[in-house]
Structure 1
Amino acid sequence: MKDFVEKPRHPEKAHRPAQETLRKPKWIRVSRAGSAEFGATRQILKDNALSTVCEEAACPNRGECWSQRHATMMIMGDTCTRGCSFCNVATGRPDALDAFEPGRVAQAVAKLGLRHVVITSVDRDDLADGGAAHFAQTIRAVRHQNPATTIEVLVPDFLHKGTAWQQVVEAGPDVFNHNLECVPRLYPSVRPGARYYQSLRLLDEAKCHRPEIFTKSGLMVGLGETLEELRQVMDDMRVAGVDFITVGQYLQPTPQHHKIDRFLTPDEFQRIADMAHGKGFLAVSATPMTRSSFHAGDDFARLQASRKAAAQPEDTPHA
């Protein structure tokens, strides 16, 4: 079972110079914790010795989600092998994989009564397959114990892991999500361990390997990108067959993390959403508080409805 002793966070970021932290505008609201359901969710996760991206990434929506018994499971530990400058997840040498974790995830999904679950992970560059087999085992365990639950995976890029990602797709998730995170110009400072075209290729190959799967990707804004750069990334996503795009405001976790350039207004997010809809995505979520797994179950229902509507033949007027 996992040891819940608090560990020091971000030793690799401690040497970075402190960055100015901008004051949050009124439209950025961090949801409050404290309801009985929030406590019940926390206890179920603790009883099953599970990590969540909600906690490890300091998600501002945790209070709302956990109060509705929704949680995003983070498998393969709480320590990432990369040190992306935007991310609040701790970096270091991860523990060995826990063979019993897939079963505990399945038990937690059942206890929470989840109709749709999002499963993500830290980057595990130390593993020969990047953790793909563990992802597949977790999908199968959840499916076996919760056959009515739809499954969404938010996967790492499997950089230098060949076709290991195929194990994840072949395990049969309903949604295959991999976030591009930012425009390619910003990768050296935001995602130095990743490659934009590797991430794009992963999404394209997953869709080609299993065309019926929904593919999804997300971006953070407020890092210094331009609207034209966002437009180009959307075009790249559509060429790769991405069905669903999420766009949310970057929030700087600590002064040692990547500096925030600015807060986009709700009107600017609406413009981004309109632009994405115009590109032909089946579903779009673009708001200041949007995160990859926020309201994921409702979004999955929208995806299904959009695909069904797109498949319906247009009414032909009678002569």
Structure 2
Amino acid sequence: MFPDQFDYYKAESVSEALDLMDEHSGEETELLAGGHSLLPAMKSGLSSPDVLIDIGSIDSMHGVSVEGDTLSIGAMTPYDDFIESEDARTHAPALVAAVEQVGDTQVRNMGTVGGNLAHADPASDLPAPALVSDVTLVAEGPDGEREIPVDDYFFGMYATALGPDELLTRIEVPSAGDAVGTYAKKASPSSGYAMTGVAALVETDGDSVQSIRVGANGVMDHGVRLEGVEDALTGETLDDDAIEAAAERATDGLDTDMFMSDLQASATFREQLLRVYTKRALSEAAEQTASPAAAD
């Protein structure tokens, strides 16, 4: 299938992109990053923009760098560039674990970290690790830059705190320190998107859990924290019994009536998957925290 006719512009800078967005604010306008979500939607008729603004070549929105204890990810950084960064592996292990499971080589070469988070597909792989990594999303608009804490960012299906005149320019990640990060995913057999994906960021002190953040995507219309799991494991030993008990609390505080139900999986099945993949993400974290001791 072919998309409807549209006007195409290629922005070379953030300011040029913002000017183009303002100039065409009265028209249906879409931003083109990696294109793996937008272009199929245009070809199938689900999206028919009048104007397409290509932001993929804006140099200032590419790359991974570290300032102090903060990792900065340019919004247009391709997935593969991100996971090849040693700084990313050190500072953002949960995000790396998730990005490694995004699509295939072709998708990871073209798709972008910022494009994923701006699109906010509830079945994509980055909302949960972004939540557990406590990222800050930096947007630029007519009034300059503003920082959006990730806990205030996701509103619903494809809905975020980004304004219609704002551009996501970078993602800032505080250092994970000695924490380990994991991501366990039940992928859709047809699309590879997450029917359920669970991310965990766990730091231990000796045998006990000092801090833990757990999140999920693919279950509700936006990524969510699993606070019942976090409460169950904080201060506890990360052993099989504790993990089993914590995984049973995966739905604590969540309205299971609002779980997604579609041709891929019913809400009831997603509820079961959430417990199973919470356990898998935590078990992987336990293995990683135990490995240094095993090496000794």
Q: Same fold, TM exceeding 0.5? A: no
The bucket for the TM-score relative to the shorter chain is: under 0.3
TM-score under structure 1 length normalisation? 0.24
Higher fraction of strand: 2
TM-score under structure 2 length normalisation? 0.26
Choose between structure 1 and 2 for higher RCO, CA contacts under 8 A separated by at least 6 residues. 1
